Structure 1
Amino acid sequence: MYTIILFAMVAGFLALRLYAVLGKRTGHEQALPKPSEERVPLPPLPRTIDQVPEVREPGGRAIESGAETGLKAVIAADSSFDVAQFIEGAKSAYKMILEAFWKGDEETLGWLVEDDVRAGFAQAIADRKAAGHVLENRLVVIERAMISEAVVEGKNARITVRFDADIAAVTRDSEGNVIGGSLSDAVETHDIWTFARKLRSDDPNWKLVETDEA
């Protein structure tokens, strides 16, 4: 009898400990996303616009001081906008767009960039094919993605991001011979890309509307 009571007490104590660890939310949990067809949109949480959330990367702060006013305007116009989520999305877009351009994948570029930028990419791809050149480039690492400017123009938002990255690049001719670059030596690259989106539209995606070199 005493043994059974002892086990019951131990089991009760363990249950309480498990609840203390697993049953409470600390605010740092991140739920796994459901498949897109199962997602249920949630109403946006109220958000203050007095201060732009500080986002940090391993290399330092990811928002230049001059961009804070513009970001406040974006948040004021669309309370669902999240700075950290945007930066991660911009990194993914940077990688996807570069890889699509290198491969000559104009279909993927079509839904990632606006028409003017797509036309520029298409012309460069056509020139490359005409010369018989093939790119074997690889994005080694994005050292930093920093928001340098943000602005709201009517119902549209534009956010400019500076990317500091290392890229290994090789160009081959039609016979497969290397005519430039090296995959063993990465080159520091500094790009300034501007993304735009119509605020509060059904399409949540930001598209690349302008590119430049830093």
Structure 2
Amino acid sequence: MNYSFEYIDIILLAMIAGFIFLRLRGILGKRTGFEGKVPPQFEEALNKARMEKVEKIKENFDDSAQKEFLKGAKVAYETIITDFSDNDNKIVASKPLLSKEIFNQFNEALKQRSKRGHYAEITFIGVNSATIKEHKRIDKILNVTVDFIAEVITCIKDKDTKVVSGDPEKIKKIYDTWVFSRDITSANPNWQLVNTLT
């Protein structure tokens, strides 16, 4: 995603505006006092530069970027869900995908499960759909809320492998709404799960 290019664009637009100003100054001459309004050509060039900057910001998370994001979101979703099927009840593969707060919440849930002597078996069938519900930028942070519909086979077993809940033979449809976040000024392109909504 080309968020870092925004700042380069601002610099380029400033250089273009400066070049136009110097050209106009050479053509129209230097002002020696108040001579009325800014020349229409210069004002038009500045307005165009401003509009291009605004459009560039709007395009930061355009359709193409959203499609690319959803590809990664589906992989992240599967990784996080299946990470809870390990017998050791530890988060390993999905840790980089979780914010510190979410990691702590998930880790605590696994500890409680482990204390009961339980573990989960999860077979991930696939993501039926993943749609962006909303995306909101606050300063340098972009938050994207995604609705997932997926199918899994899941059950909880005790230390004697007896099924406590779920059904190891039945496909279950699950509905989740997750919020991913990313600092768009960071060189790190990875997103993190920062919230799960019910």
TM-score (norm 2): 0.66
User: In the alignment, does 2:107 pair up with 1:122?
Assistant: yes
Distance in 1 of aligned mates of 2:149 and 2:74: 11
- Tell me the equivalent position of 1:164: 149
- TM-score by length of structure 1 reads 0.61
State the shift of 1:84 in Å: 1.0
Change (3 A) 1:180 1:74: farther
Distance 1:83 1:147 in 2: 8
> Shift in Å at residue 200 of structure 1?
3.2
Residue of structure 2 in register with 1:89 after alignment: 72
Gaps of 5+ in 1: 1-42, 45-71
Q: 2:159 aligns with which of 171, 174, 194?
A: 174
Match of 2:82 in 1: 99
Larger Rg: 2
Q: What's the % identity of the aligned pairs? A: 26
1:184 aligned partner: 169
Q: Is the 8 A contact 1:156 1:196 kept in 2?
A: yes
- Can you give the 5+ residue segments of structure 2 that lack an aligned partner in the other structure? 6-54
> Which of structure 1's runs of 4+ aligned residues deviate more than 3 A?
72-79
Q: Is the 8 A contact 2:95 2:103 kept in 1?
A: yes
Determine which of 112, 119, 134 is the counterpart of 1:134.
Answer: 119
Q: Map Cα deviations across residues 92-134 of structure 1 (whole Å, 9 max, x no partner).
A: 0000011112323323332110011111100100000000001
The letter for the 2-side match of 1:129 is S
Match of 2:184 in 1: 199
Asked whether the 8 Å contact 1:155–1:199 carries over to 2, the reply is: yes
Report how many residues are paired.
144
* Greater share of helix: 2
- 8 Å CA contact 1:173–1:179 kept in 2: the answer is yes
Pair 1:174–1:73, CA change in 2 (3 A): farther
1:37-48 equivalences in 2 (<5 Å): none
